[in-house]
Amino acid sequence: MDTLKNPFFSPLPTHKPLQKPSPKFPKITITCCFTLSDGNQRHYNSQKKKPLSDNNARRIIKEKAKYLSLLRRNQGPQAQTPKWIKRTPEQMEQFLKDDRDGHLYGKHVVAAIKTVRKLSERAEGSYDMREVMRGFVMRLNFREMCIVLKEQKGWRQARDFFSWMKLQLSYRPSVIVYTILVRIYGQVGKISLAEKTFVEMLDAGCEPDQVACGTMLCVYARWGHCKDMLSFYTAVRERGIIPSVAVFNFMISSLQKQSMHDTVIQLWEQMLDIDVKPNHFTYTVAISSYIREGLMDESLDLFNKMKKSGFVPEELTYSLLINLSAKNGRVNDVMELYKDMQCRGIVPSNYTCASILNLHYKNGDYSKALSLFLDMGRKRIAADEVIYGILVKIYGKLGLYEDAQKTFSEIGKLGLLNDEKTYVAMAQVHIRNRNYGKALSLLEHMRFTKIEFSSYAYSALLQCHAGKEDVGSAEATFLSLTESGLLDAAVYTCMLNLYVKVGLLEKAKVLTIQLRNDKIEFDIDLYRAVIKVYCKEGMINEAEELVNAMENIGLVMDQFIKTSLMAMYGECGRLQEAERLFKSLDNPDSVALSLMFSLYDENGHGQEAKRMLMLLLEITGGLSLASRFISKFIREGAISKAVSLFDEMLELGCMPEDVAIASLISCYGRRRQLREAKYIYEAVSNSCPTLARPVYSSMIDAYAKCGKLEEACSLYEVMAEKGYAKDAVTSSVMVNAFTNHGKYQEAEDIIYNSFREGVELDTIAYNTFIKSMLEAGKLRSAADIYDRMLSEGIAPSIQTYSTMISVYGKAGMLEKAIKMFDMAQTSGLTLDEKVYTNMISYHGKAGDTEAASLLFAKLKKAGIQPGKISYNTMISVYGAAGLHFEAEELVQAMRGDGYSPDSFTYLGLIQAYTSSGKYSEAEEILHTMQNDQVNPTCSHFNQLVFGLGKAGLVSEAERIYGEIKRRGVWPDIICQRTMLRVYLEHGHVERGISFFEEISECIRPDEFILSAAVHLYQSVGKESEATIILHSMKDEGISFLKNLKVGSKNFAG
């Protein structure tokens, strides 16, 4: 703009930025550095226009423009059609050939155009235009020179030709020629040259007209020189020149690109003031600027004016209006705009659909949102990542977890998964469904794809760790947020709720101090969380101070805060304060009523508690809470209170929920109090003729636990007669009852009947069935039931794997047991101590001590603290292998973990010493047991007797056997078998016969003992005694063991 200096221009004042209009925009009052005058300061319109000096060229151009405009407007049968439209393809080809040959402008004009254009191939300054154009002097008139200038494509050639043109005799200064040159400079961004040309036009005495001024304004607009454009526009307006609508369109478009929406609106209003009729483009730009300024009502008014003017708005205009209306929550306006689009046949863009979908999502109109998405599919509107992300959130809100996952997978397959918000939306769905592991995996994948975490993503990550109660990870995420400066009230709320949930109240208290130091702005959720901490800790003064601070900023205590304070006052024994807050509640909810019921009950206010119970049962959800109190009392062992509450509810005409009734009956069943269980069952039966399935199941279980299998079976049949199909729970109860009472065939019948009747079984039922067959010794059936479980698609639990390891272990199929253990490890389930112990035991039985030892070490490495059973099992494995050093070390480790050795521990140690020939040490263990106040049993002595006998130390074996009697314990049949086997195998016939005759009167018939006695009698020729024993064995149905041999050990030796 500095180049516009001439004697006619006034000094340039500083340009002041336009003020943002609100709501009516003032007119632009920008001063400029020049005036468009002829030196006499007369108004442009006050002078009579002089005829153009260039053969009326301007008039001809205007007439031609009117003629073409007429052709465009009149599209009827009488319309005048331009000649080129009437031409055939052959005629059009000839027309273009004539143009090339110069028949339109004249061959000399075409030659001049080509000559000047060709100069673009030469370097600047390497030619003299006067020399180049020497052959055209006196051959081109002014009009033809203008044509040559207009047809130039290079600004340098146009500049040099114009300089030559001014030297010609036919040249006359004209607005047309200057306008052409300004336009050429403007097209390539030579603003300075354009300004100089415009000044030269003024200096030459040419009065700029609407076209010239419009061209200069368009030059500024095109290259974003908005400040210069506005200054020039002010000068133009001061001269009374009104730019055309096309120029205004250029200007407002340029301003809008620079986000100068307030100035766009000012120019728009000035257009209307000076009666410039806007066209479609003008309306579109103006509406867009109103929208960008957030002027909702004004933009809608202008939109309606546009439609009344006969213009059809573009999809973009609808889209911007819908988006602004949606942000302002104006649902009716959004739907009217969308309906108008449909009526006009305008297909909405995915951006428009996203705005409407998001509005429906925020308002909870999920059905409308899903309907719109289906409509998009019918109209073939391609959904983008934003739309899919909204859809994922909607499915999450509706609980359609699988649909949300499927949609998220589609986003990935389409290659649209690039935005953090989409990942976090899916993570929030996982969090809502408590699938915290999947949410964490998704966020980790997002990090792997190098998508930067914002506070939104970190917040989701924190929610995952809080949901998993992983305090360490949650604190690490909190630290990351602290370092990033992204802490807000929601983050502190999440951390405080986590600390309260896991009982880390001291950390919660420290955090409340930190958030005050960080000057975090409280929201209502943070107030709730902090007050909850104070209430849990009984910090009455701090809680009351925070409540006062909250009320000072205009927030009111809601029901949650009042209820928390009531609980705090109740725990501190300030029942009156709790009552005061309770009375201040307008409509006490079930939580407040249940709290007051609990407080009155704990403080012995029976009548008040009953009144609260009555109020509680009158409101929605009250029955459920009252029923939960029955379950709570049962868990606390206060059965009398549970029964009392049960009776009160029946008295008030309210039947407790089925779960509470079932819990009460089950409790009596576990205590073997059948009479009390029947009382509850009959009370419910009398009040409600139709009982629920859980009540039947619990009563059947109570009968079973009390040994009343006939009553259990009878009720089982009654349940079926009442229309209840046999279910997994009841079938499990019956199978478990028969199994516990050794009635394995009846248990098996129920199992296979449930299969035949198509009962829908769950994991627990299958586990019960497999365990029943395991205890019955029907290992093949147990394996078949497991296979059926897998074929039905029922996921095994850790209990399933543990039981199946026992099945294969007992069957001696160690490889299958190992395979089952490996399956448990890869299943994603957390292995428990029982699984490891089972495998250790079966490795030991198979003689694979090393594998058992490695597995025991793996158990500890997995973070599982071995219990006494695990220690004893491993000691037993070492005992069987005779590894007494390892067994002793394990006993010491066991003591170090706080477990005292028991009978099984010492049995394993004795076995370890006897297996390794350390008999004196084994006998010493018997004395150690007495010192540790663990009484040796026959099993301990038998282990030593067996070891001594095996070593041929018969006298020592007799001594230890006699020690059993001296301790006042009568040897069991196993000890007797062991001792008799020692006599038999080592050929001590007389001592063996004497031993048999000593014990024969006090033992039940035993196959081995009787067979051994026959062999002993026969070895000394006492056939009659042997025959008597054989006859008695035959009468009893006892088999005779022929393979036994007297003195087999001596013979082997």
* Cα separation, 595 vs 582, whole angstroms: 10
pLDDT tens-digit map of 854-891: 988 888 888 888 888 988 899 888 888 888 898 898 88
pLDDT computed for residue 285 by the predictor: 92
Q: Looking at the predicted structure, is the pLDDT value of residue 47 above 80?
A: no
Residues 259/293, Cβ–Cβ less than 8 Å = no
pLDDT computed for residue 199 by the predictor: 92
Which of the four pLDDT bands, split at 50, 70 and 90, describes residue 233? Answer: very high
What is the DSSP code (8-state) at residue 1002?
G
pLDDT computed for residue 703 by the predictor: 85
pLDDT tens-digit map of 513-551: 888 787 788 888 888 888 888 887 888 888 878 888 777
* Cα separation, 379 vs 360, whole angstroms: 19
* Cα separation, 420 vs 982, whole angstroms: 80
For residue 318, what are its two tokens?
Answer: 């609808």
Residues 225/256, Cβ–Cβ less than 8 Å = no
Looking at per-residue confidence, does 1 or 167 come out higher? 167
What value does the mean pLDDT take over residues 642-651? Answer: 84
Rg (CA), the chain: 50
pLDDT tens-digit map of 451-507: 888 888 888 888 888 888 888 888 888 888 888 777 888 888 888 888 888 888 888
DSSP letters spanning 457-496: HHHHHHHHHHHTT-HHHHHHHHHHHHHHT---HHHHHHHH
Helix pair 868-881, 884-896: axis angle to 10 deg:
170
HSE-CB for 42 with a 13 A CA cutoff: 8
Run of H or E including 117? helix 107-118
For residue 941, what are its two tokens?
Answer: 């002595």
* Cα separation, 38 vs 338, whole angstroms: 55
* Cα separation, 763 vs 796, whole angstroms: 6
* Cα separation, 790 vs 768, whole angstroms: 15
What value does the mean pLDDT take over residues 311-329? Answer: 88
* Cα separation, 768 vs 805, whole angstroms: 15
Long-range contacts of 300-305 (CB under 8 A, 24+ apart): 300/333
Run of H or E including 120? none
* Cα separation, 648 vs 609, whole angstroms: 11
pLDDT tens-digit map of 237-260: 888 899 999 999 999 999 999 999
Residues 891/924, Cβ–Cβ less than 8 Å = no
Q: Looking at the predicted structure, is the pLDDT value of residue 23 above 70?
A: no
Q: Looking at the predicted structure, is the pLDDT value of residue 167 above 50?
A: yes
What value does the mean pLDDT take over residues 889-906? Answer: 88
pLDDT tens-digit map of 976-1002: 888 888 888 888 888 888 888 888 877
Q: Looking at the predicted structure, is the pLDDT value of residue 917 above 50?
A: yes
Range of lowest pLDDT (57-61, 120-124, 187-191, 446-450): 57-61
Instruction: Report the percentage of the chain scoring pLDDT > 90.
Output: 12
Which of the four pLDDT bands, split at 50, 70 and 90, describes residue 216? Answer: very high
pLDDT computed for residue 41 by the predictor: 33
DSSP letters spanning 719-782: HHHTTPPP-HHHHHHHHHHHHHTT-HHHHHHHHHHHHHTT----HHHHHHHHHHHHHTT-HHHH
* Cα separation, 963 vs 215, whole angstroms: 126
Which of the four pLDDT bands, split at 50, 70 and 90, describes residue 75? Answer: very low
Q: Looking at the predicted structure, is the pLDDT value of residue 618 above 60?
A: yes
Which of the four pLDDT bands, split at 50, 70 and 90, describes residue 301? Answer: very high
Residues 165/194, Cβ–Cβ less than 8 Å = no
* CA dihedral of residues 194, 196, 200, 202 (deg, nearest 10): 80
Most confident of 194-208, 380-394, 674-688: 194-208
What value does the mean pLDDT take over residues 184-213? Answer: 92
| Residue in this structure with the two tokens 């719109």, named with its chain if needed | 372
HSE-CB for 228 with a 13 A CA cutoff: 18
Which of the four pLDDT bands, split at 50, 70 and 90, describes residue 175? Answer: very high
Average pLDDT, the chain: 82
pLDDT tens-digit map of 569-602: 777 777 887 888 888 877 888 888 888 888 888 7
Q: Reduce the DSSP state of residue 219 to 3 states and report it.
A: helix
Tell me whether the omega of the peptide bond preceding residue 23 falls within 30 degrees of 0, making it cis.
Answer: yes
pLDDT tens-digit map of 740-771: 888 888 888 888 888 888 888 889 888 999 99
pLDDT computed for residue 197 by the predictor: 93
pLDDT computed for residue 638 by the predictor: 84
What value does the mean pLDDT take over residues 813-836? Answer: 86
What value does the mean pLDDT take over residues 387-402? Answer: 86
Number of helices (H) and strands (E) in the chain: give both, helices first.
58, 0
What value does the mean pLDDT take over residues 403-411? Answer: 88
- Looking at the whole model, is its pTM more than 0.75? no
> For residue 5, which of 207, 237, 192, 209 has the smallest C-alpha distance?
192
For residue 14, what are its two tokens?
Answer: 């500083």
Count the Cβ atoms, other than its own, within 10 Å of residue 603.
Answer: 13
Helix pair 191-203, 210-222: axis angle to 10 deg:
160
> For residue 301, which of 265, 273, 275, 274 has the smallest C-alpha distance?
265
pLDDT computed for residue 938 by the predictor: 86
For residue 862, what are its two tokens?
Answer: 């997995």
Count the Cβ atoms, other than its own, within 10 Å of residue 743.
Answer: 14
* Cα separation, 862 vs 825, whole angstroms: 11
* Cα separation, 228 vs 220, whole angstroms: 7
Count the Cβ atoms, other than its own, within 10 Å of residue 668.
Answer: 25
Q: Looking at the predicted structure, is the pLDDT value of residue 424 above 60?
A: yes
pLDDT tens-digit map of 767-793: 999 999 988 888 899 899 989 888 888
* CA dihedral of residues 564, 565, 567, 568 (deg, nearest 10): 120
* Cα separation, 67 vs 88, whole angstroms: 22
- Say if residue 963 is exposed, middle or buried (CB neighbours under 10 Å; 0-12, 13-18, 19+): middle
| Residue in this structure with the two tokens 């340029």, named with its chain if needed | 254
For residue 304, what are its two tokens?
Answer: 């309606």
> For residue 985, which of 938, 935, 1034, 1046 has the smallest C-alpha distance?
1046
Amino acid letter, residue 743: K
Q: Reduce the DSSP state of residue 306 to 3 states and report it.
A: helix
Residues 1016/984, Cβ–Cβ less than 8 Å = yes
HSE-CB for 1017 with a 13 A CA cutoff: 17
